[in-house]
Amino acid sequence: MVRRTVLPSGVRVLTETVPGSASASVSFNVAVGSRDETNGHFGSTHFLEHLLFKGTTKRTALEIAIAFDSVGGSSNAATGKEHTSYYARVQDKALPLAVEVIGDMLTSSLIDPVEFENERTVILEELAMNDDDPEDVAHETFFETVLGEHPLGRPIGGNEATITAVTRDAVWEHYKANYRPQDLVVAASGGVDHNQLIEMVEKSLTEAGWDLSVAAAPRERRITHPAQIKPASNLKVINRPTAQVNILVGSQGLVADDPRRYAMGILNTVLGGGMSSRLFQEIREKRGLAYSVYSFNQGYSDGSVFGLYAGCSPKKTREVTELLVAEFEKVAQHGITDAELALAKGNISGGLALKYESTQARMSRLFSAEIVTGEFIDLDTTLAAFDAVTLHEVRELAAEIAGRERTIVAVGECSESDFASLV
């Protein structure tokens, strides 16, 4: 059963009780991400993800870690382009502890100046680690290139320049402006009772010093409508001495609440969603040109990215890129077959059924629905929407996307001449 309560303070609490579950996943979420940063605050969102684990007025960083370790639980956080989440998975009987600790972290972080500088070094090391991964560099560059000057094009974690420049005061301002009762969405799934969770949340936040008696309306959701976005360029090549060239071909895709997202799910599955997909079969199985090859669509409130990826030997760069483009254009021109449509629907149906056996996946679905669209769609309704997708809808969507301005990004030992006439 899914339940939702909005407290007078604007705090939203959502639960999905899973009968028989001996565990519970809980998250405290705010609808602020890297896209919401302004001049002087760039990198603040990612900084906060780290700093909230570094101590509060009640607990040291070690005591926060011990709290979860003492009950065999796990805790973590994630920064996105449009939200930030702090979450844990514990035994159901340890849920009060998890709510108390995460509530304390979210409301009472010290953002200690010494810890701030220590964590600056840690984040710079994290960025350096990511920069050593050419596939990660390719994806980050692809988003920046396709989304151009739109705030969604900025890297989630910031970059060396922004992390080096941002001050403790700027991060503190960002924290105070975006971590308020009306910004907070608490979601939990598994062995959880809705009314008891509300009591836990109110107790945790009140003890931490938040005045929940002050009435406030929940933070308004973002406008979900495609923005006018101009790609930064059609071709971006980063030459590096790597064993493989990491290639991404694509354009803008579908925003998060586009009604055609179910057709997109079918399109992605047929194109690059598994071992039977067209890209996998044509590029890896038939020709042995790549180990990793796939497609994806990442949709946000007003921007999106659709892409095809492959990693291959530098000498095969041109051939693999041509195949990526050709396979997509085949779908755009001729559509997919009845057999492919049936296979994709079966793949998606089974995948979702397995996915939502996880309390963490169910929890994530709750807060995502609350933050993005305000509409919770259960598994049966979702499966029915996928089942209703037609061949014509898939082809029509592919044709529309194929007609958009194409971008190619490559990282490795290659040059712009390898992609001549393909953009």
Nearest to 376 by CA among 363, 389, 394, 357: 363
Please say if 329 is a catalytic residue.
Answer: no
Q: What distance in Å separates the CA atoms of residue 169 and residue 160, rounded to the nearest whole number?
A: 18
Residue in the structure block whose two tokens are 């030997």: 313
The Cα-based distances of 186 to 28, 165, 323, 370, 388 in angstroms read 5, 32, 45, 10, 33
Q: What distance in Å separates the CA atoms of residue 2 and residue 16, rounded to the nearest whole number?
A: 4
Q: What distance in Å separates the CA atoms of residue 118 and residue 315, rounded to the nearest whole number?
A: 43
Helix ranges, 273-389 (H): 278-279, 317-334, 338-355, 359-368, 379-387
Amino acid 247 reads: I
**Which residue among the candidates 49, 100, 140, 202 is catalytic per the annotation?**
49
- Strand 23-30 and strand 12-17: pairing? unpaired
Read off the tokens for 132: 């050593």
| Helix, strand, coil fractions of the chain, as percent rounded to 5 | 50, 20, 30
Read off the tokens for 72: 């065999």
Q: What distance in Å separates the CA atoms of residue 268 and residue 366, rounded to the nearest whole number?
A: 24
Residues 6 or more apart whose Cβ sits within 8 Å of residue 247: 138, 309, 310, 311, 312, 317, 320, 321, 324, 408, 409, 410
Buried b (16+ CB within 10 A) or exposed e, 295-309: bbbbbbbbbbbbbbb
Residue 197 pairs in a beta bridge with: none
Nearest to 188 by CA among 394, 12, 17: 17
Sign of CA dihedral 183, 160, 119, 166: negative
Q: What distance in Å separates the CA atoms of residue 273 and residue 263, rounded to the nearest whole number?
A: 13
Does residue 52 sit in helix, strand or coil? coil
Residue 190 pairs in a beta bridge with: 17, 24
Nearest to 397 by CA among 193, 218, 276, 251: 251
- Kindly state the DSSP code that residue 283 receives in the 8-state scheme: I
**Which are the catalytic amino acids?**
49
